[in-house]
Structure formats: structure tokens, C-alpha cells
Structure 1
Amino acid sequence: MKLNFSTGFALGVAVLAAVALTGCSSDSGAENSGFVARVVDTVAVAVAESLDNAAVTGATEDRKDLVGPPEQNTPAVDLAARVRDAGCDLPVVADMTAKGSLLYAVYDGGLLIYDLKTKDYTLTPVEEPLNVLVEHSGEIYAGGDCLYRIDGAGLVPEEAEFSGNINALASFGPSLMIGTTDGLFAKNILGLIALMEEVDVSALVSDETGLWVGTDGQGLFRWNGENFNKRYLSRDKSLFDHVTALAFNHDHLYLGTFDGLYVYDGGSWKTLTIDDGLPCAYVSSIDASEWVVYIGTTEGLVSYHNEELVPVKKLGDKMIVSVCATGRRIIAATALDGLILKSGPAVTTLAEPWQEKDHELAATVQ
């Protein structure tokens, strides 16, 4: 794995420039001012220090130890293989996000936009699979073999040249962070900047002051705007080698692996496994947008609140690929049962990507 420090410095300059532009807005609030102050402090330090000498280490590791020998990395569990083994040969929703009444979902055949109010939907086909969605600066972006901006029901390719397929996207200040099978990139007013190379990025999420980077085989990192620090548990440094999902809210980081769920409160890590109430060890998706956190696994959906895992009724035995909470509604993309909406006790199967337009849009599950 290679970490590109000179381009990291360029990103810092881009952040400062964008923040300066943001500061000209007359409606900037206290929250925005706090963010500006944090970014300015970060960039000031970056300017003062030589990034050529920046330490990219974990709590106790040297840079050369960031990636262990290949034989020490356990192969990741292939969710697609599990879907095939379960007898499903239909396209499966890979990721979802909601904005207003619209639900955006991507799958290996294209983009589905479902209106939760009117129950109408549109399908936009693409030749290559789409893997991930994110909202950034008021726009919705989708990633696959290239980066798209969603315009109405259409997909507009963005000018961005990078290597690998996009598996993770995150909004981080003025930058759109792009994680691919070959590295981590930032897209901002200066263009596309490479931050990490030769690393398979599987998940991204930002917190108040930094960015968490999960990989498939090379561990968990946190970027503070200057350095990448590897994070791990001292009892077993390999536990975070394969990150399947990341989410952050209310000062807590939620990390999924195929061996369980880990919750970080800023000071200590809490481990949750089958013994604690997970339906299975493979965590496929996490939604932490509300006070109640929803954890999707390949054998069911559970909620996590007040340090307790509880099965979600009528979804507790589904093979969950992605989960999205919007208000009091839960939307679950499943491998075998389609796209499911749960609102209170009512459970409805929404339009599935593989359905023809003239098929019935929804069927209530009894």
C-alpha cells in the first residue's frame, strides 16, 4: 500500500480554499463556523509541517507494519457468493439512500428511483454494475466502474480518472471521497487527488473532524486531514482487516466485519457478536442516521439502542444486503425477497429492479 502525502497537502489547500468561499455566505451558522475553525486549524498544521516526514502509523505500529504478509490476511467472505448459494440469480440492490420522498437504489443493472409518496418509480439501466450511493453538496452521486451524478432520473458521468471500481463514497467537507479497489481519491475544486494507492477501500464514513477508511484486507484507518493512522484492537490486530460497513452518528463509530459488530465511543471499543444478539456474524450494512441504529446481516435485521440488539419484526430472518432508515420507516434491500419497506407493523415489498415496468408495483406481505 502506498500513501500519497504530497497530494494530501494539495487536498488541505483545497479544503482551505473552499472553506474561505463558504465563509463568504451570509447565512453561515455557528455550526459552520466551528467546522471552518477546525479545517483552518488542520490546514495550518499541514502547511507548517513537512508532509514528506509525516508519520502514517497506528497506535504502536511502524509504517512498514501497516500491512501484514498475505498469508496473515483471512480471505473476505463474498456476499455475492452467498446470494448465489442461496439460489438467487436475480439482480440485488447494492446500496440505498433517501432524500425527501425519493428513495435512490443502485444494483448491477442500473439505478432505481422510487417515490415513497406516489409509489411510482423509474429505472435507468447501465452496462456496468453500480455499487454505492452518497449525497454530497445537495447532489446524489453513484459509483461503479465510473462516477455518476444523478440528474433527475438520469446518470451524468463525472470527469474523474481513477483506477479500480468504486466501492465506497463519502462526503467530507467540500470534498467527495471516492474509495476504489485500487485506492482512495478526493474530488474537489482542484480536481481529483489521489490520497492512498494500492489499497482496496470497502467503506468510508466521516466524523466531526476526520474520515474513517475501511479496507478489504488491509485494516481500518482514520485520516485527520494530514496523516492516516491505522486503528486496531491490541488483543487481535487482524479483527479490522476486512471492513464490510461503516457508519457514524452521535459521537459513535459503528464498524461491521464478517466476524461481528464493533462500536467505538471515542475512548473504547465494544464488541457485539452472535452471543450478544446478532443473527449471524456477517454484518452487511449499518444505518446510524437515527437514534436507533439498524444492523443488517446475512441472516436478519436487528436494531441497536441502549446497548441492546433486538430483532426487527418481519425482517429478522431476511438476508439483508443494505438498510436505510428514513423517519419511522425502514427500507431493507434483501437478496431473496426484494426491496422491503417497513412502516410500523406494515411490511410492503416495493418495486424490485428486475421487475418490468408494467408489473405490479407492490404487494403487501401478510
Structure 2
Amino acid sequence: MRAQLSMLSGYGGKAPAALLLDTERGRVLLDVGGPLEAGLERGWLWPGDRPVDAVVISHDHVDHIGAIDLVPAGTPVYATAPVGAALPDGVTYRELPLNGEIELAGMRIRTGQAGHSLGGVWLHFDIGGGLFYSGDFSLESTLFRFDAPPVAELALLDASYGLYDQPQSQCRAGLLERLNRPTLLPVPASGRALEMALWLEEAGIRWSMDATCRSQLERLKTLPQACFQPGVAGRLAGLGAPVELEQAQVALVGSPEGIGPLIEELMTQGQHQVIYTGYLPPKARGDVERGDADWLRWNVHPRCSDLVRLADQLKARRVVPLFTALEAHEPWRALLGDRLFMPNTPSILLS
């Protein structure tokens, strides 16, 4: 089957994800990403020349699902059950397996968990020698599992961290050294918050979490074991914040409205240090620049060595790094060798 892949957004920089797969049998849009920050341009347009037959969502983070409002009414949207729960009313939802396969637009699509977020999956299309789209992925999560994928000739891989290669063990060690005084960790409730909670519990640190994180924890306790790394479901079942937020040595704060009034008060009083561990929206950047907070990375995307490891596993002949700047060709060439594929246009013919 002949096909054309158009990378509408996400190729050549940290930008929302949107990729259009156009085949003889139909058109499928992979992800509908919105900007990471309010006020920024989305950077891509809905393909309006011909109807899109279906949308497939890799996971529910804003840069992969934030433009869901663009999807025309009645267009099927495929997502896993945990991601489907985040879809707005009115969307024509179809369930995508966490690990399995479906037939769509004349193609066999295989899925597997991507280790990055709850219900997040990679996608493998049975076209030519195989097309693999990782969405966002991680090989280091102790909470979310990564399922081994089948072989693919062309691999479109999350490279959000660029050429960064520090292992998660070093990230944890660096953060642990800083937890010698009351600390606030603003974190995504559906992502690293609960992985950190398990880590803090194991380390014997007095921790707590806000209502947003607690709600997500209760949700995770109801999900099947297949959503997590082996043994994690049992650990989650016994997990509960041991103290109130203001009494904790480490407070995990996942409020979508920001840090929230209680935490703002604690910050103003200077009783707690604030450490950000991921993407910095404008307020967080301002906190760090003014010296009101620090930033230490907690890996949720692949290191460059993980990129190579996955490319090896896929036996990929062509690898396209996504969601990262690619101006410096030589370091990428040194990393991936002849497998590095940087097309001059964001369109690839497949057969």
C-alpha cells in the first residue's frame, strides 16, 4: 500500500504533535497537539483539502491532544480508555487497546504502552517495512510500563530532550540531596506526581500531596495491573499521603490552577523551597529566574541513549527525531549514523 506521511507539526522543533497519514484507503491524523502555553500559536492547520477519516491520540498531554476542538463532529477519535476519559463531551470516541491491534483505513495498527503517561501508547502501522510513531515515551519510568514494539523500517521518535543523556538514577540522587528542608514539588498529577510519591515512600521521606494528586491516585487504584510496571498496582493500593500538606517534608502539588493559595502562602512565608522538575510555563520560569525556585530535571522523556536503544530494538533503517531542534546535524549523525533521516520537507512517501 502506498502512503504519504505529512508531519504537520512536531518536526524540527519542540512543537505540538500532528502527523497526517494519507493512504489509498483513507486518511488518519496522529495526535492533535495544542501549544504548551496559553497565548502561543498552535502552528498547524487542520487538513481541509479532503476529509480526515479518523484521529488517533497517543496520550492526553496538551501538546498531543490540546487541539481536539478542531476535530469535525462525527469524526472517530481513537484513544485508550484512560485517555478517552479525558476527551470532551461530543467527541465520537472509539477505544484503542493499551497493547493490541485494530484495523483502520485498510491498515493494521498495533499499540503498546509508551512508559510516559497513564494510557499513553506508541503506534505501529503495517505499511511497507513498518512505520513506528512513539508519541512521547520513556524507558526509565518505574510507574508506567513500556511494551516491546515490532520491527519498523521508519521510526518517528520522541527526542524532546535532544542530546541530553543523564540517567534517572542521577536525577533522583540530585533531588534527594536537596530534600533536607521542607520542599514543594509542583508536578503533573497524571504523570510524575505518583511516581515521585512511590519513590518518596520507599525513601522514608515524610510526604503529602494536594487534592488534585489524591484524586488521580484514587483513579489509578481502580485501573488494571496491565497499566503499570510489574508490582506497582499493589504498591499504589497501599499508598496514602501520611501527613497533611503543610506538615510534610515534601509536598506534591498538582493543582491545574497553579500552585494554589495554601502553597503561595507557604512560599511567601519562606518556609518551603520550591523545585520544578519538568517543563517550565511562564510563571515557573519567572520563579526560577527571580531565584524564588530551582529546577532539577526528573526524566519523563527518553535520553539520547534511549533513542538509540529503541531504534536498535526496532531495527529501524530510518530514524526521524521529533519535538526537538535539529540545526546541529553532526551530533545527531554521530548518535544515529546513517539511520538519521532529516527530510528537506515534512512529507515522506511510504510504500
Same fold by TM (over 0.5)? Answer: no
TM-score, normalising length from structure 2? 0.24
TM-score, normalising length from structure 1? 0.23
Q: Which has the higher strand share?
A: 1
Taking CA–CA contacts closer than 8 Å with sequence separation of 6 or more, which of the two structures ends up with the larger relative contact order? Answer: 2
